A and B are shown apart, each in its own frame.
Chain A
Amino acid sequence: MSRTPLDTVEHAAATPDVELPWAELGLKKDEYERVVEILGRRPTGAELAMYSVMWSEHCSYKSSKVHLRQFGEKAPQSDALLVGIGENAGVVDVGQGYAVTFKVESHNHPSYVEPYQGAATGVGGIVRDIIAMGARPVAVVDPLRFGAADHPDTKRVLPGVVAGIGGYGNCLGLPNIGGEVVFDACYQGNPLVNAGAIGVMRHEDIHLAKASGSGNKVILYGARTGGDGIGGASILASETFDDAKPSKRPAVQVGDPFQEKLLIECTLEAFKEKLVVGIQDLGAAGLSCATSELASNGSGGMTVILDDVPLRDSTLSPEEILMSESQERMCAVVEPAKVERFLEICEKWDVIATVIGEVTDGDRLEIYWHGGKIVDVDPRTVAHDGPVYERPYARPSWQDELQADDANKLPRPATSEELRGQVLKLVSSPNQASKKWITSQYDHFVQGNTVLAQPEDSGMIRIDEETGLGVAIATDGNGRYAKLDPYAGAQLALSEAYRNVATTGAKPLAVSDCLNFGSPEDPAVMWQFAEAIRGLADACQQLGTPVTGGNVSLYNQTGEVAIHPTPVVAVLGVIDDVARRTPVAFQEDGQLLYLLGDTREEFGGSAWSQVVHDHLGGLPPKVDLERERLLAEILISASRDGMIDSAHDLSDGGLIQAVVESALLGGKGARLIVPDGLDAFTLLFSESAGRAVVAVPRSEEVRFNDMCGARGLPVTRIGVVDGETVELQGEFELSLEELGEAHEATIPALLA
């Protein structure tokens, strides 16, 4: 963009015919025309920069907004919800005066371009969202999806992503307690790097992103602003990758976790002294987003002197400063009398802080550069009145054929030997194998409050040392199920995360989601998206767990080929006393194994169909939300009353996967029997939802059975914890040693 003469508001009004590079900045023609209409003149270069990033798909949710409304419209009544959708992150009441904020976001495209920095800054961004609510971050989780495990590019992307998450999160002192790692060829050119974080605060400490009070100062603090990440949101996150275009590496930001750690401490200290009126982190769209959102959420306007922004590179143009996505920056609104103390705290932590503007009693956002006014807009038109699209959607023509390709008709193992072989093949397949090589690169001990971490069903953090109050979080998503049926797939993702939280003994309270889909310009993808949201909103309503916020990531595709629709759902739960938590590992020989729930012949989208037949077709498992709720109640009661010593949810890989994991983690085997009415194959590999396997001490057998019977939950005895093998009576026996070797060796062999 030309900088001579300075493109001021005045200059723009006087030169209506100047051509601006709106298309290069990602705006469509009609969107540009709308900007001109709003302003009543052509925008200045700086205004164009702001509109283009704020109206990008990533920031404006222009394709998804009309569907996302359902989360509000169908929101269940919940006393727990303190702050809902729309803020930096939702906030949930967990009792004893504590509030918990949590959110999941995507950093998919940057992580493909530059795995280490893409993933690292993904962690940085979500953590700043949590701080901006007034909370101390206490844990992170990372749901990840990569291409085929044995593809050479996966060996480039995965180790970089894992090192980036570790490098950033470990350095911040945040335990990494959960997440997933899934491999599927559909993510080859478009890995999914979702990052979630949880923060804890007292109710009275909740902060919101708004600038109120005329005369209050706007303080930018944290890292200096540089040229990195310019156009990250508008270009990287909102377009499809195409080999024909030039490298987008410069659009990826570079993270400095040390700076972020200082930012956390100094922000929390400022909160503690009640110095902050409003706060916003600088993430996607940088200063454009922070200033326009703070101003439009408050009561007045705002004036900003852009010359006062500390720069890393003095040659940056005002447009670049407004668009820069340099990391580790925050923007606070502070009363004039408290500015000095705020700056002192920043000084204490060696954090650069600068007053860059103030709140005005007007309703305009005005930005000055070298004495000229380069932005004069109604901030709401930038932050909230972006375009809204009713994208056409249509059920894809291939959906019927896909569903007709029934996985239940695939050839099943004919002999015990074959069954045994398939069990080994399953537990050693990349998706079902141990992810220890990955999770051991994350610190899960720091802060000294980690009760459970991966590979447990949910991560659990103690938040009060005296009372033992804790929170649990699980994230789940199954793109294969969602491809077969996006409505059911989204509900199954919620069901699984809900079940995982309950399996550890915590009560599910609220939901955050990260919705990863292909291009919204493809009606088939848009149908998947619409169906998934409808499914998730309906299920949240029925289970009484409101969606508190989340993130939409579109354009996840390579050329014309979209990823599997992949709604990732995070469920947050609360447990009154973490001492009552239920682990996955078998604890004691002789304990009785019970299967809870109904097992049907359901193999569509299953791990077995993928591992043994490389097949995806048919229908996903049946959704039964009332059953999920009942199962959760039983698991929570049993945990509270000490009736079970271990529990594991059944999901991908079915019962045998769960039993093998519990056995290996506990170092104790199991003897299984095939109960009446089931065959060995279905018992082992079916992925029917609404199920868990629990280990019950003999002294609790009667009480536990009575409870399940009284509440109408099907309960089937399937064996006993015992010995050093996993044995299915009359079929096969596998030593823990052989299983352990099979389960542990796969990932290091492929990636180390």
Chain B
Amino acid sequence: MTARIGVVTFPGSLDDRDTQRAIRLAGAEPVALWHKDKDLHQVDAVVLPGGFSYGDYLRAGAISRFSPVMETVIEQAKAGLPVLGICNGFQILTEAHLLPGGMLGNDHLHFICRDQKLRVENADTAWTVDYESGQEIHIPLKNMDGRYVADQYTLDKLEAEGRVAFRYLDFNPNGSLNDIAGITNEAGNVVGLMPHPEHAVEPLIGSGRTDGLPFFTSILKKLVNA
């Protein structure tokens, strides 16, 4: 059997088809989900893809967070449904309070697109078991509002509980606190990060590396073995 992984398309989602491709390359079945449809169509996990949903107007992710599909995603995530938020998806997850903290504009005030070096800090989440803890990987990053911020209490808690899942290495591309690139919830089923693993799944395309593929093989392994 294989797993069915949903990818939500919001108005302004950009990397939805890329994410579906990554899921397919990992051997799972991608299922397109629509923002106006509350039904998750029995998927085993959900990815909120990158993009500029609602043009990032008001605040990145702030409007999408209230879409019908998110009602179900929020409810089921709390019950253990694996959810991955990439870039705009990460922003939506913080706006939905499934993950703590939030994202501000990059400290240099420019959009930035680069192949980013990261360290995997937590290889125990639903989306990272195919990595080694401490593994260094390169994954493309592209965003305008990528500066992760949280209050000191939250930061301390995230660090103490090992919930910083990914950290920027060598270069902090946006001014994120503690060089945080991605985090997980306490249960490890909800993960959000700014870089784009779906752009690092084929040797020839994009950054020319496949360091992002384990995100999708991790969840497949987790679901199929469950």
Contact = CB atoms under 8 A, between A and B. Distances in A.
Interface stretch (A253-261, A496-504, A560-568): A253-261
A462 B202 CA distance: 12
B11 A170 contact: no
Nearest to B203: A579
B142 interface: yes
B111 A462 contact: no
A440 B142 CA distance: 9
Interface stretch (B50-58, B120-128, B181-189): B50-58
Given A258-B52, A440-B113, A442-B113, A451 B14 contact: no
Contacts of A447: 17-18
B192 to A, nearest CB: 19
Nearest to A446: B14
A291 B21 CA distance: 40
B82 interface: no
Contacts of B114: 440
A262 B10 CA distance: 10
Contacts of B205: 448-451, 462
B198 A579 contact: no
Which of A163, A442, A443, A451 has most B Cβ within 10 Å?
A443
Interface secondary structure of B, over-half rule: loop
Interface residues of A, number: 33
Nearest to B16: A173
A171 B53 CA distance: 9
A443 to B, nearest CB: 5
Contacts of A451: 204-205
Contact of B196 (A173, A256, A258, A445): A445
Contacts of A449: 205
A504 to B, nearest CB: 13
Interface in B131-169: 140, 142, 144
Given A166-B111, A445-B206, A578-B204, A173 B14 contact: yes
A167 B54 CA distance: 14
Contacts of A579: 204
A171 B12 CA distance: 8
Contact of B11 (A257, A349, A444): A349
Given A170-B142, A450-B206, A451-B205, A441 B15 contact: no
B55 A443 contact: no
B11 A350 contact: yes
Given A171-B12, A257-B52, A258-B11, A445 B111 contact: no
Interface in B4-32: 11-12, 14-15, 17-18, 21-22
A261 B206 contact: no
A172 B15 CA distance: 11
A258 B55 contact: yes
Given A441-B110, A446-B15, A448-B21, A171 B206 contact: no
Contacts of B113: 170, 439-445
A437 to B, nearest CB: 9
Given A170-B142, A446-B18, A450-B205, A163 B111 contact: yes
Interface string A152-166: 000000000001001
Given A173-B51, A262-B11, A450-B206, 17 more contacts: A167-B111, A171-B12, A171-B14, A257-B55, A439-B113, A443-B113, A445-B199, A446-B14, A446-B18, A447-B18, A448-B15, A448-B22, A448-B202, A449-B205, A450-B205, A451-B205, A578-B204
29 contacts: A163-B111, A166-B111, A167-B144, A170-B52, A170-B142, A171-B55, A172-B14, A173-B51, A257-B52, A258-B54, A258-B55, A259-B55, A261-B12, A349-B11, A350-B11, A440-B112, A445-B113, A445-B206, A446-B15, A446-B18, A446-B199, A448-B15, A448-B17, A448-B198, A448-B201, A448-B205, A451-B204, A451-B205, A462-B204
Interface of A: 163, 166-167, 170-173, 256-259, 261-262, 349-350, 439-451, 462, 465, 578-579, 752
